[in-house]
Structure 1
Amino acid sequence: MNLHSISRASERRPMSLTVKSRVRSRVVFVDLIDISEGGCKIRARAGFAEVGDRVTMKVNGINAPLGTIAWIEGQVAGVAFEGAMHPAVIDYLCDKQDDRDTGPELRRIV
């Protein structure tokens, strides 16, 4: 079985966000690549975790359900949530990210 053949119970939503997480009681900053009700895909330094490690994450101030590293391929890993993230929370996070992307452009005044 390869990673692309794993069936998904819910739609993955793309994200581009650095989040603070904990793996093996250490703080690890990871890039959140996508998220769904049942899990997410993250990127971090190679060796940051092993399959089966438990993960906690705080995404834009919201605690994600406790997760477990389901697979690792290089610097990318899949996290399976032990509970489900409510679809409205995912919508909120995606909307907040969209607002950030389309916000006013900041310029340096010289």
Structure 2
Amino acid sequence: YKLRFNQALLNQNQQAFIEEVVPHECAHLIVYQYFGRYHEGKKVMPHGRQWKQVMSEVFNVEPKVRHNFSSAKRARRTFAYICACHDRIHDLSAIRHNRIVRSDARYVCKSCKESLRIK
């Protein structure tokens, strides 16, 4: 399993981030490992009873779903992709670009239905 954290939020809110966000994300891993996707015939919800229990009993942290850290908005980086149409540039977000690089996803042009490739 692998956890990834927002480096900017960590840098801006180090102590609170470590006290709140790290246990929050670790609790998700523990719940998934221990209960799986279903428990007693019911779907295990991401912030459901099992997650709240792990947050409270394992980490002794109030089970909050959202943090309230302020974050400065930054310009979003995009990557230019092309398809078989060749007359169109598809600007993909860094998140989508990274998914393609990791082979976790592939995206297609809505017009020609061909896979997008980096320009």
Structure 2 length-normalised TM: 0.22
Structure with greater proportional strand content: 1
Which structure carries more relative contact order (alpha carbon 8 Å, separation 6+)?
1
Structure with greater proportional helix content: 2
- In terms of Rg, which structure is larger? 2
